[in-house]
């Protein structure tokens, strides 16, 4: 079983993440300890959004890229493995970008909505959200829009093949916060160290 942190008093960040270029919006609101490291925050994001962590990702702040070092990358980036969220985002209303799957080009906006001092709460925790995450490898925002158009019309000639590809199991309106929180409890997000 993963580690959930039980704190007496610590700063907690309430974050809202919104998938860009999708209508209607796909978003999640969640709580994490402010001292979470960026790679662990990425794991939380993958879980709350519903991605499978099958592709590369990066954070972008003030034009700088923060990611795991990659000698094959065309872009210079800052090694994010030791950076904590409270070093990266320090003020309410501040926002950063989280990019996932560079081929499909999913971009998410993360906003630090509140800095909270909580007592005896378990983190991370998802506290809200709307709509299902797009299926992996559906072609980014453009491909997702096309998929939604096809799924809205059972008479579309591509409907059956898309349903086969989705294994008949995709509801774009469905979001199960309880299930997300169960998954968050099962995973280790490396949040215990507060040095």
Per-residue pLDDT, 17:
98
**Architecture of the structural domain at 5-132+174-186:** Roll (3.10)
Helices and strands in the chain: count of H runs, count of E runs:
5, 10
Mean of the pLDDT values across residues 68-84? 83
* Nearby residues of 82 by Cβ (< 8 Å), 6 or more positions away: 37
Q: What are phi and psi of 163, to 5 degrees?
A: -65, -35
> In terms of C-beta density within 10 A (0-12 exposed, 13-18 middle, 19 or more buried), how is residue 7 classed?
middle
Taking the domains of the chain in order of start, what are their residue ranges? 5-132+174-186
Q: Which of 5-19, 37-51, 54-68, 97-111 has the lowest mean pLDDT?
A: 5-19
Distance, in Å, from the CA atom of 147 to the CA atom of 160, rounded to the nearest integer, reads 12
Per-residue pLDDT, 117:
81
> In terms of C-beta density within 10 A (0-12 exposed, 13-18 middle, 19 or more buried), how is residue 123 classed?
buried
Per-residue pLDDT, 169:
81
Per-residue pLDDT, 70:
76
Mean residue pLDDT across the chain? 89
Per-residue pLDDT, 193:
35
Q: Which residue has the higher pLDDT, 44 or 168?
A: 44
108 pLDDT more than 90: yes
Which residue, chain included where needed, has tokens 């950063």? 96
- How many other C-beta atoms can be found within 10 angstroms of the C-beta atom of residue 183? 16
145 pLDDT more than 60: yes
Mean of the pLDDT values across residues 98-105? 95
pTM attached to this predicted model? 0.88
Per-residue pLDDT, 192:
41
CB 181 within 8 A of CB 125: yes
Distance, in Å, from the CA atom of 21 to the CA atom of 141, rounded to the nearest integer, reads 6
Residue 123 pLDDT class (50, 70, 90 cuts): confident
Residue 28 β-bridge partners: 17, 129
Distance, in Å, from the CA atom of 99 to the CA atom of 70, rounded to the nearest integer, reads 15
Per-residue pLDDT, 118:
66
Residue 64 pLDDT class (50, 70, 90 cuts): very high
Mean of the pLDDT values across residues 144-171? 92
């Amino acid at each position: 079983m993963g580690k959930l942190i039980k704190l007496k008093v610590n700063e907690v960040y309430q974050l809202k993440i919104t998938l860009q270029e999708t209508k209607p919006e796909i978003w999640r609101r969640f709580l994490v300890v402010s001292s979470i490291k960026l790679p662990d925050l990425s794991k939380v994001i993958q879980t709350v959004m519903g991605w499978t962590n099958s592709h590369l990702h990066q954070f972008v702040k003030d034009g700088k890229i923060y990611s795991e070092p990659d000698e094959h990358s065309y872009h210079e980036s800052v090694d994010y493995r030791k950076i904590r969220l409270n070093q990266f985002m320090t003020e309410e209303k501040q926002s950063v970008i989280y990019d996932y799957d560079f081929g499909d080009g999913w971009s998410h906006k993360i906003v630090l909505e509140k800095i909270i001092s909580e007592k005896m709460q378990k983190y991370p925790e998802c506290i809200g959200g709307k709509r299902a995450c797009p299926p992996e490898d559906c072609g980014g925002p453009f491909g997702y829009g096309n998929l939604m158009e096809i799924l809205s019309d059972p008479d579309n000639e591509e409907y059956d093949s898309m349903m086969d590809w989705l294994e008949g199991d995709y509801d774009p309106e469905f979001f199960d916060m309880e299930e997300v929180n169960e998954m968050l409890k099962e995973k280790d997000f490396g949040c215990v160290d507060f040095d």
